[in-house]
Structure 1
Amino acid sequence: MHWTAFLTCLLTVSLMNQVSGLETVTGKYGDTVEIPCNNGRFTEEAVPLVKWKYNNDGNILVKNMGQNASISNDENYKNRVSIKNNLGLIIRQVTMADQKTFTCMVVGTADIFEYPVELVIYKVPSQPQITNQTTTMAVGKLTKLAQCRTEGANPAANITWFKNKTPLMADGAAIKITAAVVVDKETGLSATTSDLEYTAVKEDIDASFTCQVQHIRSANMDSSPLIFTVNYPTEKVSLQVVSQGPFNEGDNVTLKCMADGNPPPSSYIFYMKGEKKTVENSNTYTLTNVTRANTGEYKCSLVNNEDMAESVSITVEYLDVALSTAGRISKRLGESFEVTVDVKASGTPQTSWRKGNKDLNRLLKFDKLKYSDSGVYECVVSMAGLKKTQTFELIVQGSPVIKSLTKARDGNKNKVLSCEAEGFPKPTVQWSVNGTDVGETAYVDGKVTYKITIVPKVNLTVSCTVSNALGSVNKSIDVSPHLKNNKSDQTVLAVGIVFGLIVALIVMGLAYWLYMKKFRQGSWKTGEKEDGSAEESKKLEENQSQKADV
């Protein structure tokens, strides 16, 4: 009953294998693989005999129930195989030579059953390698750019080319892709190569090309990006002014000629106001220390094609300033004076005047010069980044004049005399008396004040004489001695005045009394009546009047 059940089971499994087809096992190149016998449904305790073979006649091993497996002397497997308890075949370090059909043959008491298994070996390809790479492409010309290669694969890998991450599709004209697969006779592994031929356009400048290896048993692998130089002929020439304008006289102006071809031309022709200059191994030309004469049109062209040219205009700004007077100018006080400015410029200038640190919002015209008009004048003319400055010094001269001569008391017995003078050159002073020189004030706008301190003993007339190269003048002032200014002096003075007035009154009264007394005595001597005739009375009044006049 045991063997009957076993044979029934074997028959059932055999029928299932026939229906489902050949079993397949995949193994990685160089690894250990297990090939199952009837999907591992058996054990060594239930099978009298099992035999593993390949390609129908290649014996690998035989195992009888209860005994160790007997391994054949096949050079391919005698050191690499073993059998498991479930009758599966173990093969170590598989190679492409192991990619074949292995059969598990189970022998029963009444029948023999075989279970074939197809072993498939896979191998991941190597990273893509770029060979036979070129460096340049010419626009419009089909050029072989590079070869992409990967090897050691099973099954063979596929290669795809990309430009800027977009797959390239061969069209047989502008793009050609040639792929090849070569199998190594010893290892059985495949090497795949792909050659790319490409027709460049100008837009391919800085384009990035890559190749990608694709395999069913690994992720996609990309090569390093490839950048090619794209060569194309010049179609246009341009001329630039490198230096920043506006340009002023004395500046340097650099011209730069450029062509859109690649590689660019190494030499150019520059045309400069009738002159032609060929520049080798450079595309620039510099005009040094330009003047207004350099204003005009400039052009550059290719050496081998002068019709391919470009031009540009250059303007050199200039500014000339001249004053109607210069240096140091001397004028007399009260004169009229005017300064004119002659400006020659390439544009519209702005003119301003300054005296010292002060801006003058007017033209430089004087109807009557004053000493305060003396000074250094600065004319500033500016335009478009240009600035010119012209200066001159105006000196207003005049003979000296004494504006005032005053006296003051300093609180003691001293008198301080002040002589204010005006004139240019600066007047000097001479006093008619000796004294202590107090000093002088600052000489500003032609004015200066000299001071002297004196102690007069008696009444004085003091003269101040001021002079310069144009003349001299003097002025005098009376100075009296100084009286003490205290209460006792004032009291004595007041008493003296009152006493004098009293004495005067007494004298007058006494004179009047004497007169009256004498007159009355005379009347008494004659014995005349006091109320004499009218004629006598009139004569008496006349006599008294004459005496009073004496």
Structure 2
Amino acid sequence: MGSAAVLLLLALVGAGTLLLEQVQGTENVTALYGSTIVIPCNGGAPAPEDLMFIKWKYETSDNSGDLLIKQTRNDQATIQATDDYAKRISLDDKYSLLITDASLKDQKTFTCLVVSDNDLLECPVSVIVYKKPSSVQVMDKPEALQKDKLTTVGTCVSSDAHPAATITWKKNGQPLLASEKAVITPSLKLDPATGLSTTSSTLQYAATKQDVGAIFACVSTYKQTDEELEMEPLSVHYPSEKISLQVMSKGPVVEGDNVTLKCHADGNPPPSSFFFHVMGEKVLVENSDTYTLTAISRGATGEYKCSLTDNKEMEASQRIVVSYLDLSLSLTGTVVKTVGDALSVKTENSSSGDAKVSWTQNGKPVKEPEFSKLTYADAGVYVCEASIDGLVRRQSFELVVEGKPSITSLRKHRPEGAKYKVLTCEAEGVPEPSFHWSINNTDEKSTYINGKAIHTITVIPKVNLTVTCNVSNKLGEDIMSISVSSIFEEHERRESGGDSGDQSKLIVGVVVALLVVAAVGGLIYWIYIKRRQGSWTTGEKEVGTAEENKKLEDNNV
């Protein structure tokens, strides 16, 4: 087909007189504001083989215009638009129309004309442009809410959207509906230049005490997508209705303590100044809710008060009882006594109540020290403890019981198979006694606990001898001796009596058994004789042989 024929066909297409025209149903294309719009031609179907040209145009209710035309597959598209589209349109290799920098003005119907030798397709496409809000923010936020008074919580603004966003409010995560306590005022503004909408909503709320710390949030909903903007927790301002006085002490108030009084009022913001009534005086404290009594004395027991500076009728009181405790002992420091002496301790205490008194000796509980006759075991550190209402007093003394040494045991021992002997000398005495032996020795060992001393030595006696243990301290001394045989003689006796020892033991056992039998026989015979003598002396006539009677008579002579 020649160029003249094409021009004639274009004129006919423009005039809408071609009899073979087919109109497709209108499709919809969505695009994001500011992005490139891609409008497919004939749903993206391939162009026919006998394609003559493709043309794009647009139509609105009050306007229409040509955009571009492409005559053959190899030719460049020719821009026909003379308006704003001239710089924003192009054609891709699938004949789709591309429009850059999408705006709401692009919401119209674009038509693709596909002209071939035998057919003409008209494919309209409707373009819809969306724009999400450019920002969501809360303005006009207050420092605090006022109790039972409508106060602006904030104005939530969702800017420059298409279609317009909707705004709702939440309190503590739950939807907040309009009511007498919650007044919601919405508004909508349209930018005539861009056609974009800005939605705003102002919330006013009458708070209660229970709303302290409540978290409000505005929710901007765009195309079923929520953007929630949570506000900082808001406080609620209200005047004080209750006041209390607290004694800041972990336990009972004890004489000498620093005691802090704390006045608390339930208003918000809390009062910053108070009057404290202390021992008949009224003290003003500013920018603080506490007052400290330093080194409180037992005479400070009484009632204390605090009140508001702007409402003196609102006051609170608290009684303070000061606990005190004095403790003294008749014995202090180090007390030195002699074994056998008597000892008693007098305790005096003064307190604000009934004090509990206990004693320990070297950390172990004991009764009150009272001794008629002291022993070494009675020595130690005695602590008297008195307590009342968490107050504790302690007094102590150290008892030292002295006495001259006395040897309680002196013994010897030869370990099995050893070629030496161990001598052990035990003694009692305070101060700690020293040990002296009358024989040379080795491996000396000593212990001294609670007045008891143990001293061991190792010796190798070559001959039989007598060993003496001597113990002494500043109060006197004691001596004891023990016989120690030569280890060589013991060794010879053990070897010589090696195999015969068991036989000797057997012989001794037999002899002892025979002696026992003889003794039993003699005892029986003696009893028999006694009975026979008794019968004669009683004058009874015993029946027997003449020989037996004669023997009995001879024995009684």
Task: Select which of 173, 191, 195 maps to 1:188.
Answer: 195
Match of residue 181, structure 2, among 171, 174, 197 = 174
Partner Cα distance (2:88, 2:153) in 1 = 47
Shift of 1:388: 4.0
Q: What is aligned with 1:406?
A: none
Given the alignment, which residue of 248, 264, 268 partners 1:242? 248
- SS of structure 2 residue aligned to 1:77: helix
Q: How many residues align?
A: 393
- Aligned partners of 1:128 and 1:211 also within 8 Å: no
Q: 2:272 maps to which residue?
A: 266
**Amino acid in the other structure paired with 2:106:** D
The one-letter code of the counterpart of 1:316 is V
Q: What is the rounded CA distance, in whole Å, between the counterparts of 2:341 and 2:53 in structure 1?
A: 149
Within-5 A mapping of 1:40-439: 43=47, 45-46=50-51, 50=55, 52-55=57-60, 56-62=63-69, 69-83=77-91, 88-104=96-112, 115-171=123-179, 173-216=180-223, 219-321=225-327, 340-351=346-357, 361-362=367-368, 364=370, 380-384=384-388, 385-388=390-393
Q: Is the 8 A contact 2:327 2:386 kept in 1?
A: no
Please name the residue that 1:490 is paired with. none
Quickly say closer, same or farther: Cα 1:132–1:359, change in 2 above 3 A.
closer
Q: Is the 8 A contact 2:51 2:117 kept in 1?
A: no
State whether structure 2 residue 30 is matched by structure 1 residue 30: no
Distance 1:97 1:441 in 2: 123
Distance 2:276 2:228 in 1: 49
Q: Are the equivalent residues in 1 in contact too, given 2:88–2:99 (CA < 8 A)? A: yes
Is the partner of 2:86 in helix, strand or coil? coil
Structure 1 residue 86: deviation in Å?
6.5
C-alpha contact 2:65 2:81 (8 A) present in aligned 1? no
Alpha-carbon shift at residue 329 of structure 1 (Å): 11
Equivalent position SS for 2:384: strand
Q: Is the 8 A contact 1:246 1:317 kept in 2?
A: yes
- TM-score, scaled relative to structure 2: 0.58
Contact map agreement 2:327 2:349 (CA 8 A) in 1: yes
CA offsets 1:283-312 (integer angstroms, 9 cap, x no match): 111111112212233222222223322222
Let me know the Cα RMSD of the aligned residues.
4.6
1:339–1:365: 8 Å Cα contact kept in structure 2? no
Residue identity matched to 1:77: Y
Equivalent pair of 1:53/1:61 in contact (CA under 8 Å):
no
Deviates more, 1:271-280 or 1:233-242: 271-280
Match of 2:516 in 1: none
Q: Which whole-Å CA distance do the structure 2 matches of 1:352 and 1:229 have between them? A: 55
> Is residue 42–residue 86 contact of structure 1 (8 Å, CA) maintained in 2?
yes
Question: 1:262 is matched by which residue type in structure 2?
Answer: N
Residue pair 1:378, 1:392 contacting (<8 A) in 2 also: yes
CA contact 2:305–2:316 (8 Å) conserved in 1: yes
> What are the ranges of 5 or more consecutive residues in structure 2 without an aligned counterpart?
1-8, 10-16, 402-469, 480-557
Q: Post-superposition shift, 1:84?
A: 5.8
**Higher mean C-alpha displacement, 193-202 vs 339-348:** 339-348
Q: 2:343·2:374 contact (CA, 8 Å) conserved in 1?
A: no
SS at match of 2:141: coil
Structure 1 equivalent of residue 547 of structure 2:
none
Query: Cα 1:441–1:214, aligned 2, differ >3 Å: closer, same or farther?
Result: same
Looking at structure 2, the residues matched to 221 and 394 of structure 1 have their Cα atoms a distance apart, in angstroms, of: 83
Name the SS of the counterpart of 2:82 in structure 1.
Answer: coil
Report the secondary structure of 1:207's partner residue.
Answer: coil
Cα distance in 1 between the residues matched to 2:381 and 2:93: 120
Shift of 1:195: 1.9
Structure of higher CA gyration radius: 1
Name the CA distance, whole Å, in 2 between partners of 1:42 and 1:354: 108
Q: Which amino acid aligns with 1:281?
A: N
Gaps of 5+ in 1: 397-438, 452-550
In the alignment, is the contact (CA less than 8 A) between 2:37 and 2:99 conserved in 1?
yes
Letter in 1 for 2:237: N
**Structure 1 residues 315, 96: CA separation in 2 closer, same or farther (over 3 Å shift)?**
same
Shift of 1:219: 3.8
